[in-house]
Amino acid sequence: MAEWLTAAGARGSSLDLAPGAFVSEKGTLSRAGLREAATLATLLDATADARIALVVHEHAQNVAASSLGRRRADALATFLKERGIASDRLAIRTDRSGRSPNQASLTLVAERGSWRDPIRTGAR
């Protein structure tokens, strides 16, 4: 995760959150997810010019999975805010392309540099 955040530039760099980061079928971080989230918070705290977009993958045919993805993004954003990461460094975005095989998955997009422009959803 540190390499991903360090390598992120103005165009953004994406990272899929590990499948076990959340309790199955819930919007709650698992133990492994809490460790990952704590690591992310520490890295963000040490990297003042970094911002993160939490990208929720939406699918019109599976509203339940889309809703679960949104709850997971909200849970991670709340955790990071509680760890002292400013809300202007976090964004939740929606990807409606339907390309993600795991409909409740989250993709993290890191961007470093100027904060004048909105966070993009990132390049793969």
Q: How far apart are CA 123 and CA 27, in angstroms?
A: 26
Is pLDDT of 66 > 60? yes
Tokens 């390309």 correspond to 99
Q: At 123, is the pLDDT very low, low, confident or very high (cuts 50, 70, 90)?
A: very low
Q: How far apart are CA 30 and CA 36, in angstroms?
A: 10
User: Which has more confidence, 20 or 120?
Assistant: 20
Q: How far apart are CA 55 and CA 69, in angstroms?
A: 9
pLDDT in tens, 26-64: 999 999 999 999 999 999 999 989 999 999 887 667 777
Domains of the chain with bracketed CATH: 2-112 (3.30.1330.60)
Please provide the average confidence, as pLDDT, over all residues in the chain: 84
Is pLDDT of 117 > 60? no
**Which residue, 46, 49, 22, 44, is CA-closest to 35?**
22
The number of C-alpha atoms within 13 Å of 93 and in the hemisphere containing its C-beta is: 19
Find the distance separating the first CA and the last CA of the chain, reported in whole Å. Answer: 15
